[in-house]
Amino acid sequence: MALFRYNALSEKGRNIRGTVDAESLQDATLKLIRRQILVVNVTSLGEKRDKGTLKLSEVLSLTRELARLLDAGLPLYECLSSLEEKYCSHKTHELLLDLCDQIRSGRPFSEALKKHKGSFDLLYRSMIANAEKTGGLVKALQELARLIDRQLQMKKKLLGALLYPALLGTFCLVVLNTLLFFVVPSLFDLFEGKELHSFTRFVFACSHFALRAKWFLVALLACLISGAAWTVFSNQGKLLVKKMFLRFPGVKELWAKIALARFFRASATLLEGGLPALFAMQQAGKTLRHPGAEKSMEEALRQIQEGETFEKALSGKLFIPPLIPRMLGIAQAGGSLPAMMHQIASIYEEDLEKSFAHITTLAQPILLLILGGMVGFVLLSVLLPLTDVSSFAA
């Protein structure tokens, strides 16, 4: 049996959508005709491809709800069917329909998720696959929900640290454009034919250039906005911006902390799920997404595989502080690796919070000084000629 989606017309002429189980497309059409449904078209969900990915917040919501339903004692297929009905008008509906179809045909949940790799990453699928073997699917989903929630919280803190500087920088540009395009041009006639200070001449020259090249500046602004939109909504754009930012020393270290916090949190979660330490760290290493940290961790894991201890393998590696190998060495000897990795992740997250607060604290006065300096410079350039009373005596 396969799952088919249909579009039809109701008795009042309204469009209706739904799904039907059938052996083939022809069988699905016949079933709908027998139910006196005026079919517009019928498509097999097996023929549809994953057209988009879910946001991390949507994956979190879906994971939490699935964990609650499973914890209540419902079978997996019934849980997915219930969620499919709930998200009927949401983009998650397509994904849930496909998962229902695959689970109905007998495929494991982890295998069904592979078709939607953009929404469910390798760590997510690995934890689900391991949970299916041990029978702890509810616990795995709850752990995944906590892990995704921490990632979202970290993103919110990063955005919060950058939001105020971005808004203040935008306000600086608005003020500067207002001065150059409206305030300064209104003073041209007042100072025409007068001997002006070099400050005033410079500001007037900038205003003249802005007025002459306004369409060029508008086109440049449109290109900048388009480029910003491309970097936000395109995977290639995000990758390009990431590579550019990683070239800056301060940003490179900060990004490494984010990557390592995610790595140790994921490793601890996989270890608690029953995976061997080395395999868990190898799986979690794919969540780093930081070239330097990935290289260091790959080299360390290769040494661990050859028989080295965690402390020796991680010592002296780039982006890994000396305290971390020592902590892992103690945890390995005491058999408490998951708890220690959670502790290391918490240390990194606290350090990141301090870094974000430091960035925000520094950015606010610096941008205020820049804004005040621009406005003050323009006002000074205008006020200087006004102090020369003799230049207006005629």
- Shared domain for 257 and 385, answered yes or no, is yes
Contact 268, 341 (CB under 8 A): yes
CA distance 10 to 369: 65
Q: Of 238-247, 284-293, 310-319, give the range with the top mean pLDDT.
A: 310-319
- Shared domain for 64 and 208, answered yes or no, is no
CA distance 332 to 330: 5
- Shared domain for 260 and 366, answered yes or no, is yes
**Number of folded domains that form the chain:** 3
CA distance 272 to 284: 13
CA distance 323 to 350: 15
- Residue of 353 and 394 predicted with greater confidence: 353
Res 60 pLDDT > 90: yes
Res 62 pLDDT > 90: yes
Res 356 pLDDT > 60: yes
Query: Is there a domain that residue 174 lies in?
Result: yes
Query: Is there a domain that residue 116 lies in?
Result: yes
Query: Is there a domain that residue 363 lies in?
Result: yes
Using a pLDDT cut of 70, give the percent of the chain over it.
Answer: 90
Look at residue 392 in the predicted model and tell me its pLDDT.
47
Query: Is there a domain that residue 265 lies in?
Result: yes
Contact 261, 345 (CB under 8 A): yes
Contact 278, 304 (CB under 8 A): yes
Can you give the CATH number for the domain in which 12 is found? 3.10.20
Query: Which of 106, 130, 149 corresponds to the end of one domain?
Result: 149
Query: Is there a domain that residue 394 lies in?
Result: no
- Shared domain for 301 and 383, answered yes or no, is yes
Work out the pLDDT band at 49, boundaries 50, 70, 90: very low
> What b-and-e string marks burial along 176-189, b requiring 16 or more CB atoms within 10 Å of the CB?
beebbeeebeebee
Work out the pLDDT band at 244, boundaries 50, 70, 90: confident
Work out the pLDDT band at 48, boundaries 50, 70, 90: very low
Look at residue 39 in the predicted model and tell me its pLDDT.
74
Look at residue 226 in the predicted model and tell me its pLDDT.
86
Query: Is there a domain that residue 190 lies in?
Result: yes
Specify the residue for token string 């606290």.
350
Mean pLDDT of the chain: 81
Can you give the CATH number for the domain in which 61 is found? 1.20.81.30
Look at residue 189 in the predicted model and tell me its pLDDT.
80
Res 340 pLDDT > 50: yes
Using alpha carbons only, what angle is made at residue 263 by residues 117 and 259, rounded to the nearest 5 degrees? 90
- Shared domain for 156 and 144, answered yes or no, is no
- pTM for the structure as a whole: 0.67
- Shared domain for 228 and 349, answered yes or no, is yes
- Shared domain for 196 and 128, answered yes or no, is no
How many residues in the chain? 394
Look at residue 71 in the predicted model and tell me its pLDDT.
93
Query: Is there a domain that residue 143 lies in?
Result: yes
What sign for the dihedral angle of Cα 16, 20, 25, 26? negative
Query: Which of 99, 116, 149 corresponds to the end of one domain?
Result: 149
Residue 100: name the closest of 115, 120, 122, 119 by CA: 115
38-44: strand order across its sheet: 15-22, 2-9, 38-44
Query: Is there a domain that residue 86 lies in?
Result: yes
Lowest mean pLDDT among 90-104, 225-239, 328-342: 225-239
- Shared domain for 155 and 132, answered yes or no, is no
- Shared domain for 195 and 273, answered yes or no, is yes
Res 274 pLDDT > 90: no
Res 11 pLDDT > 70: no
Condensed to tens digits (0 to 9), the pLDDT of residues 222-235 reads 998 888 777 767 76
Work out the pLDDT band at 55, boundaries 50, 70, 90: confident
- Shared domain for 186 and 75, answered yes or no, is no
Query: Which of 82, 116, 149 corresponds to the end of one domain?
Result: 149
CA distance 128 to 140: 7
Per-residue pLDDT, averaged over 343-371, amounts to 83
User: In which domain, by residue range, is 28 found?
Assistant: 2-47
- Shared domain for 32 and 131, answered yes or no, is no
Look at residue 69 in the predicted model and tell me its pLDDT.
94
- Shared domain for 108 and 238, answered yes or no, is no
